[in-house]
Amino acid sequence: LRADDCFCASRKLDAVAIEAKFKQDLGFRMLNCGRTDLVKQAVSLLGPDGINTMSEQGMTPLMYACVRGDEAMVQMLLDAGADLNVEVVSTPHKYPSVHPETRHWTALTFAVLHGHIPVVQLLLDAGAKVEGSVEHGEENYSETPLQLAAAVGNFELVSLLLERGADPLIGTMYRNGISTTPQGDMNSFSQAAAHGHRNVFRKLLAQPEKEKSDILSLEEILAEGTDLAETAPPPLCASRNSKAKLRALREAMYHSAEHGYVDVTIDIRSIGQSTLHCWAWRCYPGSRTHVHIRTHTPKHIHIYTHIEIHRELIPKACPLMFEILKASKNEVISQQLCVIFTHCYGPYPIPKLTEIKRKQTSRLDPHFLNNKEMSDVTFLVEGRPFYAHKVLLFTASPRFKALLSSKPTNDSTCIEIGYVKYPVFQLVMQYLYYGGPESLLIKNNEIMELLSAAKFFQLEALQRHCEIICAKSITTDNCVDVYNHAKFLGVTELSAYCEGYFLKNMMVLIENEAFKQLLYDKNGEGTGQDVLQDLQRTLAIRIQSIHLSSSKGSVV
């Protein structure tokens, strides 16, 4: 920031105007040389605004002196009547060389940015506004001195500004006026946390809260006029200012976690601020460097009653949690992870399975079912004959067509079915002859075998009907058996339903020995890893479809 860099925009002015510019430039040069005995002469050259004249960078002589840290010159300018709280202008047509990042900055802001503590002390003693250009109750579109001091990590400056009443909760609004919080983003807590200045963060945290008015919440409006004698005094965390501080700490924890400053994140966590996203970011560096994940878990996984669903949850937190579940031998940690999975899955029902409409095919009157006199094909099931009709079976499924095609037309031998029980085969035939599953009376001990038969004979509508019956009858006692059978048959819809059931009821199932054996593969069958991967995929799909389907995440 130098005054002699700003003349490129003055070349098209007339002679009188350019003469005034050269005189103004000379005045700034005289002041910038540090000669306090030239202040009076320099001011006379600056123009009608005198000591508060702005250069093409929108800066006054006092701002330049603060940039240099020239305490004597600052004092001389103050004695000459320099305005302490004048701001860098934001009108580029009049001051074309204004740096965009310095708009609305004051002399105090420049002194803080360059770490000139004596100059800051001098300005504050002279009456400079500790918040810079921020007016009480108005939105802030530039950084406050405290924000800059916290970002730089200057502990002494932060302490000085806090003593003079600086508010660490003030953030910066975007130029379009949009912000995630009413007081703006990247307040002093976030600045210190994002840059890893732990001592500065602790100093900000130790600052007593100031009582100030704020917008009333609906709860507070409804509470107006209640009998004070009947209501207990609200706790500290219930005050409006404390709520703002909790929001600020939560934002700061995000920044510290994402920038890798685990010590600051743990400090914030120790005072009660915790989100799943931040915990995952704390553990993620350890997982990438192959540090054993279990070292992160005993102190930092807790039961989350409110889990903030974040877009980073799917690619980072979910794999990390399932990796911990796989490796952990601590039952408490496993139970807490199950609580998290259940909360992430949400309170909504598991997606239902729907019936498949059967295509219109040939059908016969039920009178022809297993009728020897009118049949033209015989199946041998468990040594017992079952009589059927080719005209119906040829169009029933590709499997039946293949069975009938492999048998010569003039061959009167039976087609042996050796992998289906007779009552189950009878149900399959009844389904075909009746044209649907409505008349089927399926016993509980037959449903799994009927599902297998429907899968083998490629009867998709009957298979889906069996899947729906299994889904409706699933319990914590039989869910593992149903899942194993579905995976064995390759029935994806029923498998996905079981995985949703596992996630929704995981807090109860983790005590089930069969479920733990399924997860941890105690028999060494090599399926445990596949199950965890399937659960992870199902949870990711659920989070994406329910919590992240809109532009913003939601909280379960």
Write down the pLDDT at residue 233.
38
- The residue with tokens 């009589």 is 387
Domain with CATH 1.25.40.20 in the chain: 3-208
Which DSSP helix (H) or strand (E) runs through 417?
strand 415-417
- pLDDT band at 484, cuts 50/70/90? very high
Burial per residue of 303-331, b for 16 or more beta-carbon CB atoms within 10 angstroms, e otherwise: ebeebbbbeebbebbbbbbbbbbbebeee
Count the Cβ atoms, other than its own, within 10 Å of residue 50.
Answer: 14
Are 448 and 433 in contact by the 8 Å Cβ rule? The answer is no
> Residue 422 in 3-state DSSP?
helix
Q: What is the CA radius of gyration of the chain?
A: 38
**Residue 415 backbone dihedrals phi, psi, to 5 degrees:** -95, 115
**Encoding tokens for residue 552?**
């913003």
Poorest-pLDDT segment among 97-101, 242-246, 415-419, 472-476: 242-246
What Å distances lie between residue 556 and 257, 317, 343, 355, CA to CA?
A: 22, 16, 7, 31
Are 172 and 131 in contact by the 8 Å Cβ rule? The answer is no
Write down the pLDDT at residue 31.
72
What Å distances lie between residue 227 and 224, 233, 255, CA to CA?
A: 9, 12, 42
- pLDDT band at 315, cuts 50/70/90? low
Pick one of 1.25.40.20, 2.40.30.30, 2.70.70.10, 1.10.3720.10 as the CATH number of 3-208: 1.25.40.20
Are 40 and 28 in contact by the 8 Å Cβ rule? The answer is no
> Can you give the length of the chain in residues?
556
What Å distances lie between residue 454 and 116, 400, 424, 429, 447, CA to CA?
A: 82, 11, 10, 11, 10
Q: How far apart are CA 58 and CA 359, in angstroms?
A: 79
Write down the pLDDT at residue 457.
92
Are 235 and 167 in contact by the 8 Å Cβ rule? The answer is no
> Residue 380 in 3-state DSSP?
strand
Write down the pLDDT at residue 385.
92
**Residue 536 backbone dihedrals phi, psi, to 5 degrees:** -60, -45
Count the Cβ atoms, other than its own, within 10 Å of residue 153.
Answer: 17
Average pLDDT over residues 59-68: 87
Q: How far apart are CA 420 and CA 428, in angstroms?
A: 10
**Encoding tokens for residue 323?**
């990796």
> Residue 64 in 3-state DSSP?
helix
Quick check: 117 pLDDT over 90?
A: yes
Average pLDDT over residues 270-291: 52
Average pLDDT over residues 125-146: 80
Write down the pLDDT at residue 535.
92
Domain with CATH 3.30.710.10 in the chain: 366-547
Q: How far apart are CA 143 and CA 145, in angstroms?
A: 7
Residue type, 244: A
Q: Choose the most confident range, by mean pLDDT, from 46-50, 207-211, 274-278, 376-380.
A: 376-380
- Taking each helix axis as running N to C, give the angle between helix 460-472 and helix 479-489, from 0 to 180 degrees, rounded to the nearest 10: 160
Write down the pLDDT at residue 439.
81
Tell me the per-residue pLDDT of 379-389, one tens digit each, with 9 for 90 and over: 999 999 999 98
Write down the pLDDT at residue 329.
76
Are 35 and 76 in contact by the 8 Å Cβ rule? The answer is no
Quick check: 77 pLDDT over 80?
A: yes
Domain 366-547: top CATH class = alpha beta
Q: How far apart are CA 349 and CA 366, in angstroms?
A: 39
Average pLDDT, the chain: 77
Residue type, 361: T
- The residue with tokens 């690619």 is 315
